[in-house]
Chains A and B, each alone.
Chain A
Amino acid sequence: MRVSIVVAMTIALAAVAGVGAQTTPSQPSAAAPSGNADEGKKLFLSYGCYQCHGREAQGSNATGPRLGPKPIAFTAFNRYVRRPTGQMPPYTVKVVSDADVAHIYAYVQSRSTPPAAQSIPLLREP
């Protein structure tokens, strides 16, 4: 069985796909507190978010779902960071402040929308 090391992690993260359902936000993201994307980038790296979700928050089917550029509503995002239901480790207020989560949220929101796959020759060819 390939990548057996991460199977359990993958399975459980799949169950929290809502966190990564960036294409269909459940609530308007305008509800998010103001955060600074540049600060958020620093935190995204220093808090290790990128380890599972990628430096561009692009996600991985092996470790953690895509987060940006259209994350789920901030309330749900923050709730999941505090009390994840899948394999993601909990980031409590003691470790990551609400302000920090807001910065991180601003960072994942700021990620650019990629070009359509059909516009990239390597992804268009069989």
Chain B
Amino acid sequence: MSQKLSVDRRDFLKSAAVTGAAALVPGAAIEGQQRSAGTGGSPETPAQATQATAPVAPREVDPSDGGEVITTDRPGGDFMVDVLKTLDFEFIASNPGSSFRGIHESIINYGGNAKPEFITCCHEESAVAMAHGYFKAEGKPMAVLCHGTVGMQHAAMAIYNAYCDRVPIYILAGNSLDATLRRPGVEWAHSVQDAAAMVRDFIKWDDQPISLPHFAESAMRAYKIAMTPPMMPVLLVLDGGLQEDPISPEVTSRLRIPKLTRATPPQGDSGAVAEAAQLLVNARNPVIVADRTARTPAGVQRLIELAEALQAPVVDQGGRMNFPSRHPLNQSGSARQLIADADVVLGLELTDFWGTVSTVRDGLTRTSRSIVKPGTKLISITALDLATKGNYQDFQRYPEVDVAMAADAEATLPALTEACKRLITAEKRTAFQERGKRLAEAHATALERARAEAAFAWDASPISTARLTMELWGQIKKEDWSLVAESGIMSDWTDRLWNREKHYQSLGGSGGAGVGYGAPAAVGAALANKKHGRVSVTIQGDGDFLYAPGVWWTAAHHRIPLLAVMHNNRAYHQEVMHVQRMANRHNRGITRAHIGTTIDDPNVDFAKIAQGMGVHAQGPITNPNDLAPAIARALEVVKRGEPSLIDVVTQPR
């Protein structure tokens, strides 16, 4: 492409100033702002302005022109940063891109690279997944900056995970709206008519503001929508001109940052709450099942209060840390039997209520059946009933419940607990206490059984997942620890054997089961934990590691302390089993099931990859007796504020 024919935005502004000077006295800067906002003029007089600024731009610019305006000390991006600071973003994660160069520069210079601080990412999927993990540890969203085109495409998988996991991500995407102002070549490939279209099925709201006042309103609206349950990602598309061009006096006079008032989360209808309380108090075998229930630390306490009032068993499905693992009413390991025996099942923000009360056999013929007794009452409280979309099918099969509250479970729990307490008679209280004693005994028995099972293959090599889990636990339990991710499936050992009490001690999974979430989400959550002085720990799957390993460089670069212990079974193990299932179903044996599913020949040297990114790393470790000293060395590194990775070769599950 000839440089002579290249007309960039600055050149165009300069030439437009020359052209328009005769018609519009206020000056080039104003015109530039009007045109590049994509409206052709001020909102009050669009037609006039379009006419006034319509002249064809020259294809070449005379650099000797004395009337040009070539700098500005107040670009639109600065105001955008003012707005972001009002929203109190700590960080903005991004892989740099020219479509948002304006706001990028405003963040690091005008904004002082603080609140938000620019976090350099090597992939947009990493940026979004970091924001995903950060939210679950911190309880507030992280912003993400990406190209509206190629960046959104990279980010899409992670956005889908966040959507399925009901996590708000505040996404800002660059774009170049005015086709007549685009640089030839790449800027066209990086421009799009409707940037949100690709992800609109799995975000909650989007907008493409055409002025700075419009941006300010939409920024507040986006935050409010994202943070109202059910929480989900939102997207604002930022025109390049809006970011880069000077703020005109006319626009300056209209600039203000609207007040943000967060919506209170929706509570269950009082009649439905009373009906649910009646069912729960009168039940002989009630079961409480929680998935994404505890949005905040208060959610954990509220669930404890309800469970203790009823002396009812709690099954924690792990979408969040809902219930202390060592609480005697925690009966997660006995979920199926408890549900089969239940006469009332209370589901709190369940991903899959139908699957919770049913079983499916993945055979040549797929069959399913309910596991609950006839007449069992099902009560659902979920904010998802307020916002279900149609295209992506993460909403699961239709559950035939008896009471359905379209409400946030955490917000509804206090009213439900109080309603239950009002109905509990002395006689019932005695019966509940008896039930509680039985459940406490069952809890203790389950813990002892889990410990006995963990002893099997204790000294095996590859190392058993139980051994790995307990070697890690042995050294972190004295710390203020946070299990930020668990991307390899580990037979639930951490659930069964670790003592979890605090909301940040388990952050749940990806949501959409999109592999590649674990490493970046762990780094993002560790970034949130850093200022709290928590020791962040992740159990890192090998397949997950390989999706976008550049996030380890981000962890090293930004000095994010994180202890990563790998569950390296050298396979996409879930897929090994799926192919094995198909091969046997087709009666062909499974000797070729490794093809396309294993990660060996050669084995990946994960420690070397991490070291190459500046991360302290050890391994591969195959002898279980080498684990303890390796973990101790890694913890020293983490405690001085840096990431450390241990590659451990493990049993499949």
Cα(A46)–Cα(B590), bound, Å: 8
Asked if residues B453 and A66 are in contact (CB atoms below 8 Å), the reply is yes
| Chain B 625-653 interface mask (CB, 8 Å, partner A; 1/0) | 00000000000000000000000000111
The segment from B137-145, B177-185, B569-577 that touches chain A is: B569-577
Cα(A9)–Cα(B363), bound, Å: 10
Q: How far is the CB of B101 from chain A (nearest CB, A)?
A: 40
Which A residue's beta carbon lies closest to that of B590? Answer: A48
Question: What residues on B are CB-neighbors of A35 within 8 Å?
Answer: none
Query: Assuming the A-B contacts A11-B360, A117-B454, A123-B451, are A2 and B651 also in contact, with contact meaning beta carbons closer than 8 angstroms in the complex?
Result: no
Is B114's beta carbon under 8 Å from chain A?
Answer: no
Query: Assuming the A-B contacts A11-B336, A51-B573, are A123 and B652 also in contact, with contact meaning beta carbons closer than 8 angstroms in the complex?
Result: no
Cα(A50)–Cα(B460), bound, Å: 13
Asked if residues B587 and A92 are in contact (CB atoms below 8 Å), the reply is yes
Asked if residues A54 and B455 are in contact (CB atoms below 8 Å), the reply is no
Cα(A114)–Cα(B455), bound, Å: 6
Partner of B577, one of A9, A47, A91, A115: A9
Question: What residues on A are CB-neighbors of B587 within 8 Å?
Answer: 90, 92, 94-95
Asked if residues B362 and A125 are in contact (CB atoms below 8 Å), the reply is no
Partner of A61, one of B492, B580, B651: B492
Partner of B489, one of A1, A6, A56, A86: A6
The segment from B1-9, B16-24, B77-85, B470-478 that touches chain A is: B470-478
Query: Assuming the A-B contacts A58-B457, A95-B584, are A2 and B508 also in contact, with contact meaning beta carbons closer than 8 angstroms in the complex?
Result: yes
Q: How far is the CB of A56 from chain B (nearest CB, A)?
A: 4
Cα(A87)–Cα(B490), bound, Å: 19
Partner of A1, one of B319, B448, B462, B589: B319
Asked if residues A87 and B464 are in contact (CB atoms below 8 Å), the reply is no
**A40-67, CB < 8 A from B:** 46-48, 50-52, 54-56, 58-63, 66
Partner of B471, one of A4, A15, A122: A122
Q: How many A residues have CB within 8 A of the partner chain?
A: 49
Asked if residues B318 and A62 are in contact (CB atoms below 8 Å), the reply is no
**B554-593, CB < 8 A from A:** 573-574, 576-577, 580-581, 583-585, 587-591, 593
- Counting residue pairs across A and B whose Cβ atoms lie within 8 Å, the total is 159
Cα(A22)–Cα(B348), bound, Å: 36
**B125-166, CB < 8 A from A:** none
SS of A interface (majority): loop
A1, A9, A14, A90: residue with the most chain B Cβ atoms closer than 10 Å: A1
Question: What residues on B are CB-neighbors of A99 within 8 Å?
Answer: none
Asked if residues A3 and B359 are in contact (CB atoms below 8 Å), the reply is no
Question: What residues on A are CB-neighbors of B591 within 8 Å?
Answer: 46-47
Asked if residues B577 and A120 are in contact (CB atoms below 8 Å), the reply is no
Question: What residues on B are CB-neighbors of A126 within 8 Å?
Answer: 499
Question: What residues on B are CB-neighbors of A12 within 8 Å?
Answer: 359-362
Is B96's beta carbon under 8 Å from chain A?
Answer: no
Asked if residues A56 and B456 are in contact (CB atoms below 8 Å), the reply is yes
Cα(A50)–Cα(B359), bound, Å: 25
Asked if residues B458 and A3 are in contact (CB atoms below 8 Å), the reply is no
Asked if residues A4 and B513 are in contact (CB atoms below 8 Å), the reply is yes
Q: How far is the CB of A21 from chain B (nearest CB, A)?
A: 13
**B476-502, CB < 8 A from A:** 486, 489-492, 495, 497, 499
Question: What residues on A are CB-neighbors of B588 within 8 Å?
Answer: 95
Q: How far is the CB of A22 from chain B (nearest CB, A)?
A: 10
Is B452's beta carbon under 8 Å from chain A?
Answer: yes
Is B217's beta carbon under 8 Å from chain A?
Answer: no
Cα(A3)–Cα(B317), bound, Å: 9
Is B544's beta carbon under 8 Å from chain A?
Answer: no
Cα(A121)–Cα(B474), bound, Å: 9
Query: Assuming the A-B contacts A14-B336, A56-B457, A114-B456, are A2 and B577 also in contact, with contact meaning beta carbons closer than 8 angstroms in the complex?
Result: no
Is B352's beta carbon under 8 Å from chain A?
Answer: yes
Query: Assuming the A-B contacts A1-B291, A60-B491, are A122 and B590 also in contact, with contact meaning beta carbons closer than 8 angstroms in the complex?
Result: no
Partner of A87, one of B291, B362, B457: B362
Asked if residues B451 and A117 are in contact (CB atoms below 8 Å), the reply is yes
Is B620's beta carbon under 8 Å from chain A?
Answer: no
Query: Assuming the A-B contacts A1-B291, A48-B576, are A62 and B491 also in contact, with contact meaning beta carbons closer than 8 angstroms in the complex?
Result: yes
Cα(A76)–Cα(B291), bound, Å: 37
Asked if residues A3 and B593 are in contact (CB atoms below 8 Å), the reply is no
Question: What residues on B are CB-neighbors of A87 within 8 Å?
Answer: 361-363, 581
Q: How far is the CB of B143 from chain A (nearest CB, A)?
A: 27
Asked if residues A89 and B584 are in contact (CB atoms below 8 Å), the reply is yes
Question: What residues on A are CB-neighbors of B508 within 8 Å?
Answer: 2
Asked if residues B360 and A8 are in contact (CB atoms below 8 Å), the reply is yes
Question: What residues on B are CB-neighbors of A63 within 8 Å?
Answer: 491, 577, 652-653
**B434-478, CB < 8 A from A:** 448, 451-458, 460, 462, 464-465, 470-471, 473-474
Partner of A3, one of B363, B474, B492, B577: B492
Is B350's beta carbon under 8 Å from chain A?
Answer: yes
| Chain A 102-126 interface mask (CB, 8 Å, partner B; 1/0) | 0000000000001111001111111
Question: What residues on A are CB-neighbors of B362 within 8 Å?
Answer: 8-9, 12, 87
Asked if residues A48 and B499 are in contact (CB atoms below 8 Å), the reply is no
Is B15's beta carbon under 8 Å from chain A?
Answer: no
| Chain B 283-321 interface mask (CB, 8 Å, partner A; 1/0) | 000000001000000000000000000000000011100
A-B contact pairs, 12 of them (CB 8 A): A4-B352, A8-B362, A50-B652, A58-B460, A89-B584, A89-B590, A91-B584, A92-B584, A94-B587, A94-B589, A120-B455, A123-B455
**Which 7 pairs across A and B sit closest by C-beta, in order of nearness?**
A89-B584, A2-B318, A60-B653, A58-B456, A56-B457, A114-B455, A58-B457
Chain A residues with a Cβ under 8 A of chain B: 1-9, 11-12, 14-15, 46-48, 50-52, 54-56, 58-63, 66, 86-87, 89-92, 94-96, 114-117, 120-126
What 18 additional pairs, Cβ within 8 angstroms, besides A58-B464, A89-B580? A1-B352, A1-B355, A2-B495, A5-B574, A12-B362, A15-B359, A47-B590, A51-B576, A51-B580, A55-B460, A55-B651, A55-B652, A56-B457, A60-B652, A95-B589, A95-B590, A96-B589, A125-B474
